[in-house]
Amino acid sequence: MGLTRTEFFTEKQNKTASIMKALGHPARIAIIDFLLKTDKCICGDIVEELPLAQPTISQHLKELKNVGLIKGNIEGNAICYCINKKTFIEFQKYLTTVFDKLEKQENNCC
């Protein structure tokens, strides 16, 4: 059918999956890498940095913004994008529980 059955899963599972999904493309990983590297947040420089057309980048930025991983700030006629720490910290919480559980796992059959 091609439609993810989100209603079958918990809100947390859906939220986590949507963040992972947003990060599930090398261009979007590259955008995050770039925003982390530049320290101050950069706008259309991303378009110059990445070897993709401007509309494509714009689309990727939109997806990252939709799940709250980045924020956009209007500065004149340009837009300044940057990491949204809040979402990352929330994401980190989930990951911490995963890695904690993993550490305690012993009876791993494989």
Where along the sequence are the contacts to DNA (CB under 7 A)?
A: 1-5, 21, 24-25, 27, 43-44, 47, 52-56, 58-63, 72, 74, 76-80
- Under a CB-based contact definition with an 8 Å cutoff, are residues 28 and 63 in contact? yes
**Which helix (DSSP H) or strand (DSSP E) does residue 41 occupy?**
none
Which residue from 37, 21, 10 is spatially nearest to 69, judged by alpha carbons? 21
**Residue 77 interacting entry, from DNA, a second copy, none, C-beta within 5 to 8 Å by type:** DNA
Smallest separation, CB 54 to a second copy (Å): 15
**Residue 62 interacting entry, from DNA, a second copy, none, C-beta within 5 to 8 Å by type:** DNA
Q: Which residue in the block uniquely carries the two structure tokens 């340009």? A: 78
Smallest separation, CB 68 to DNA (Å): 15
Smallest separation, CB 78 to a second copy (Å): 11
CA distances from 96 to 56, 63, 67, 103 (A): 33, 24, 20, 11
Residue 2 or 103: which CB sits closer to DNA?
2
